[in-house]
Chain A
Amino acid sequence: KAGVTQTPRYLIKTRGQQVTLSCSPISGHRSVSWYQQTPGQGLQFLFEYFSETQRNKGNFPGRFSGRQFSNSRSEMNVSTLELGDSALYLCASSLSFPGGFYGYTFGSGTRLTVV
């Protein structure tokens, strides 16, 4: 079966711009989480959605937002980009909220570079 699909894979943006990242979960998975990964910081939790509702939110500024659609696809938006937003953004899906018995399946991520 198809895995978690994230688009685009790579992105270069200029400071001050905004960006939208997309995540299509595994078919049947209703929970989608977003993480920011930077060297040495591990996986920093952004937010988690289940059935179109945000269930949890991490400690990120309001410039980071997300949403989930009725087909479970999710988007993440970052406005007014800063150099420090450069990172790998990972999306993970699971059958249930939060991680379920079978854990999360991660996508390959979107590498965002802010210049």
Chain B
Amino acid sequence: QQPVQSPQAVILREGEDAVINCSSSKALYSVHWYRQKHGEAPVFLMILLKGGEQKGHEKISASFNEKKQQSSLYLTASQLSYSGTYFCGTEGDNNDMRFGAGTRLTVKP
């Protein structure tokens, strides 16, 4: 039931782009994205709802393919502050929320 994230880790230079993918084996009602910096709590970035409505972070975007049960997080023109571990959380039709194992993103100067 836990969604699968890819890649597990990625290293970027400032200004480069990255895509993080999240895939589930079950039908999804919504997908959440969170970022966790080392030693801190995960912080909510955005939610994507079935039907296309989205609410979240102004500098990071995401897509949600309901038919494929997949979501992708897009980080463009990355900044040093983007470094951290990104988690996707998937909500199924039975109202359960499960998180992936995380993608560690490192942005270097």
Contact = CB atoms under 8 A, between A and B. Distances in A.
Interface of A: 4, 33, 35, 40-45, 48, 55-56, 90, 92, 97-99, 101-109
B95 A56 contact: yes
Nearest to A104: B44
Contact of A56 (B46, B96, B99): B96
B102 interface: yes
A101 B47 contact: yes
Interface string B18-58: 00000000000010101000001111101101000001000
A42 B99 contact: yes
Given A102-B47, A103-B34, 12 more contacts: A42-B101, A42-B102, A43-B42, A45-B97, A48-B97, A90-B42, A99-B32, A102-B44, A103-B47, A104-B32, A104-B34, A104-B44
Nearest to A45: B98
Nearest to B97: A98
B97 A42 contact: no
Identify which of A4, A40, A42, A101 gathers the most chain B CB atoms within 10 Å of its CB.
Answer: A42
Contacts of B2: 42, 44
Identify which of A33, A103, A109 gathers the most chain B CB atoms within 10 Å of its CB.
Answer: A103
Interface string B73-109: 0000000000000010101001111111110000000
B99 A35 contact: yes
A76 to B, nearest CB: 16
B1 to A, nearest CB: 8
19 contacts: A35-B99, A42-B87, A42-B99, A42-B100, A43-B42, A45-B97, A45-B99, A55-B95, A56-B97, A92-B42, A98-B97, A99-B47, A101-B55, A103-B34, A103-B47, A104-B32, A104-B42, A106-B34, A106-B43
